[in-house]
Amino acid sequence: MRKDVRILLVGEPKVGKTSLIMSLVSEEFPQVVPYRAEEITIPADVTPERVPTHIVDYSEAEQTDEQLSSEISKANVICIVYAVNNKKSIEKVTSHWIPLINDNTDKDSRVPVILVGNKSDLVEHSSMETILPVMNQYTEIETCVEWKEREFAVHSLKMESASQHLLLLFCGRNRGECSAKNLKNISELFYYAQKAVLHPTGPLYCPEEKRMKPACIKALTRIFKVSDLDNDGILNDNELNFFQRTCFNAPLASQALEDVKNVVRKNVIDGVCDNGLTLKGFLFLHTLFIQRGRHETTWTVLRRFGYDDDLELHQDYLFPLTLKVPPDCTTELNHNAYLFLQSVFDKHDKDRDCALSPEELKDLFDVFPYMPWGLDVNNTVCTNDEGWITNQGYLSQWTLTTYLDVQRCLEYLGYLGYSIISEQESQAAAITVTRDKKIDLQKKQTQRSVFRCNVFGDSGSGKSGFLQAFLGRNLTRQNIVSEEHMSYYAISTAYVYGQEKYLLLHEVFPDFDVLSDADMACDIVCLVYDASNPHSFEYCARVFKQYFMDTKTPCMMIAAKSDLQETKQLYALTPLEFCRKHKMPPPQAFTCNTAGAPCKDIYTKLTTMAMHPHARLRCMCTCNRCTFCHLQNFINSELVQTVKAKLYTAILSRHVTQADLKSSAFWLRVSVGATVFAVLGFAMYRVLLKQR
């Protein structure tokens, strides 16, 4: 919506421009009329659209042609005033004023014009017979108003007699009955002038062809599809009421709904189907509104769904300014957002196979101005055997977009109409900004549900295979993927202690000398080397020592291609020795060259380590769910290591001599310490076994 409206009055001398302004503002005819009235500003709170309105007068005696041109270029709407009793002033409308206005305005965005016939009380006839051909010739003329000293007679090509009952029913009575009598110190003339600016006909309708313009049809079609909550191509009574309540804050009575549908039935074939409004009927209604001069109804709908004056979705609608993401925080979808996205999926999964076929996916994104997902998405998330994105893959892709580019996610949610369907102020309500990771480390717990794992490795080490295996694809399925459609991301779910979490794998390019902040900003690092290549491990060791050795980010070595014969790595330390030295879990053997889907235990472990970076988990297998793994994690935890050190100090508080070894007191202390360790270990075993 515009911030203000600027109305300019022009016309021949002595036609009554100044007296018109003064009488309209003061509500009484002025006895003394100056050459030119000063600019008048009408406050927003006394206008129907709550927009400040500026009224500007023109005087040939006091202003130059340059000043007139400047005022025309600044005006939002121009009123050409002529005297009904002055034939010359009427002729000047087409011979002088309209050409002058067109010469000083952009051809592609003509300023709306209102013709004002003044002094009609001085003659017995109307000037409309003369003016109507002019209105037919110049489409920029919105309305013609004849002015008498005490009343108005409004004539417009767009104010033909119509079913006012229908118009008021569908657009809401409060807005529909707004007229000059409800305004303070402002008349019908300025109401129609303001209306011509705030609710222009030009972007909506082509008078020559007597039909809506393509951009308007496209916008209304998107609105229809967003409002069609069950995607059956029909707006049923519930959907129509929701639409009416959303746009006009008032539901429709049952009889009113029937009246609307009856009008459509009489005028449009297939406008009503199964007692619901079809797209054809929906477009007909808005065409009827525009033709009957009620285009503010269509504009109200368009603006409620985020459109600006150019029928483009407004930037403030697509990108709300309320969302702020501090450093070291991440963005995730909240529960309500997932419910909305799930409803969108269900709405378009017509065959109920829990996957979106290419046709269903195209239908889902039909409300977008472009296709947001490329072919690489199929290699980023889980798909079925036919290569269609599954329900899990669909939600995973939305999770990935939210994490990597929250502004893009807000834009996508805007196209889907999240704020309207969910009745939220904006789609920013769908986003949760997580707390700083440093706080998670201090509190040793996290509320996040998405964890990022950056995968490093030399060329040919098996990084891409490691990513694709997370999506359940073995080597055979990976070989049929074309290189141009490969993705450097893979995201899916993993269950940690019964909780569903998202693990995001990102393959980082091998040139580790230029690692960016994004390459290092992650929850866990995965270092992949080819177990059959003797030169592969060195790269992983160098990356770890150069970038991650002194950080608190947990790291894990992956010995990929473990189905091949293992080769000794040409490095000073073996991978196992390297991991022990730097207090990392031992290298995990991995292969995607299997008959079925690759094992996903390693990804569960990665997610667990990302969730609990403070725990320093060092289990000896990959499942991280068995009792053995839990015991190993407990024994190697910092808590047990601290207790162990204190017990050693208590038991071996002094240097052990040969005499101590023969002393019964010394061996008693050793026995007590061993008993304490045994009891703690057995108790932990029982607790974990009970949980299992």
209: Cα within 13 Å, side-chain hemisphere: 9
Structure token pair of residue 448: 């996040």
Residue 164, H or E segment:
helix 164-171
594 and 569 within one domain: yes
Residue 239 near residue 257, CB atoms below 8 Å: no
211 falls within a domain: yes
Q: Distance between CA 205 and CA 214 in Å, rounded?
A: 9
Average pLDDT over residues 334-351: 96
Q: How far is CA 44 from the centre of its chain?
A: 31
Higher pLDDT, residue 317 or 687: 317
- Please indicate, yes or no, whether residues 25 and 124 belong to a single structural domain of this protein: yes
> What percentage of the chain reaches a pLDDT higher than 90?
49
Alpha-helical runs (H) found in 305-374:
315-318, 335-348, 358-364
Asked if residue 290 lies in contact with residue 396, where contact means CB atoms within 8 angstroms, the answer is no
Mark whether 334 and 465 lie in a shared domain: no
More confident residue, 564 or 631: 564
How far, in Å, are 230, 343, 364, 492 from residue 348 at the CA level?
8, 9, 6, 22
Whether pLDDT at 602 is above 90:
yes
pLDDT recorded at residue 42: 83
Residues 382 and 247 in one domain: no
CATH of the domain at 419: 1.10.238.10
pLDDT at site 182: 33
How far from the centroid of its chain's Cα atoms is residue 177's Cα? 35
Distances (CA, A) of 290 to 167, 204, 240, 294, 302: 10, 8, 20, 5, 13
Highest averaged pLDDT of the listed ranges 439-448, 604-613, 682-691: 604-613
User: Which residues 6+ apart lie within 8 Å of 510 measured at CB?
Assistant: 457, 458, 459, 539
Instruction: List the structure tokens of 433.
Output: 């900004």
80's enclosing H/E stretch is strand 77-83
With a cut of 90, say whether residue 646 has pLDDT above it.
no
Q: Tell whether 54 is covered by a domain.
A: yes
Q: Report residue 592 as tokens.
A: 């995607």
Whether 372 and 231 map to the same domain: the answer is no
- CB-based burial, 4-18: b 16+ in 10 Å, e otherwise: ebbbbbbbbeebbbb
pLDDT tops 90 at residue 285: yes
Helical segments of 612-663, H only: 627-635, 638-651, 658-661
- pTM score, whole prediction: 0.78
Q: Are residues 293 and 272 in the same domain?
A: yes
* Number of domains within the chain: 4
Q: In whole numbers, what is the pLDDT of the chain averaged over residues?
A: 83
pLDDT of res. 644: 64
87-102 tens-digit pLDDT = 888 889 889 999 999 8
User: Does one domain contain both 603 and 577?
Assistant: yes
Residue 595 lies in a domain: yes
CATH label of the domain that carries residue 185: 3.40.50.300
For residue 171, pLDDT beyond 50: no
- Cα Rg of the chain, angstroms: 37
SS3 state at 147: strand
Rounded Cα distance between 462 and 539, Å, is 13
Please check the confidence at residue 314 and state whether its pLDDT lies above 70.
Answer: yes
486 vs 422, which has greater pLDDT? 422
pLDDT of 438 above 80: yes
> Is the domain of 66 the same as that of 97?
yes
Q: 515 and 461 in one domain?
A: yes
465 shares its domain with 358: no
234 or 85: which leads in pLDDT: 234
- Asked if residue 621 belongs to a domain, the reply is no
d(CA 562, CA 531): 6
Which of 636, 601, 606, 631 is CA-nearest to residue 618?
636
How many Å apart are CA 128 and CA 645, to the nearest integer?
Answer: 103
Its domain, for residue 284, covers 207-312
Q: Which pLDDT tens digit goes with each residue over 346-405?
A: 999 999 999 999 999 999 999 999 999 998 999 999 999 899 999 999 999 999 999 999
683 within some domain:
no
Indicate the range of 30-34, 251-255, 492-496, 619-623 predicted with least confidence.
619-623
Kindly state whether residues 306 and 174 are assigned to the same domain: no
Whether the per-residue pLDDT at 676 is higher than 90: the answer is no
Residues 516 and 592 in one domain: yes
Question: Does a structural domain hold residue 656?
Answer: no
* In a domain? residue 156: no
Top-confidence residue, 676 or 643? 676
Residue 340 has pLDDT above 70, yes or no: yes
The model's confidence at residue 692, banded by pLDDT at 50, 70 and 90, is very low
Residue 619 lies in a domain: no
pLDDT digits (tens, 9 = 90+) for 16-43: 888 777 777 766 666 667 778 888 888 8
Instruction: Output the pLDDT for position 609.
Output: 92
Q: Considering 254, 289, 312, which residue would you say is the last residue of a domain?
A: 312
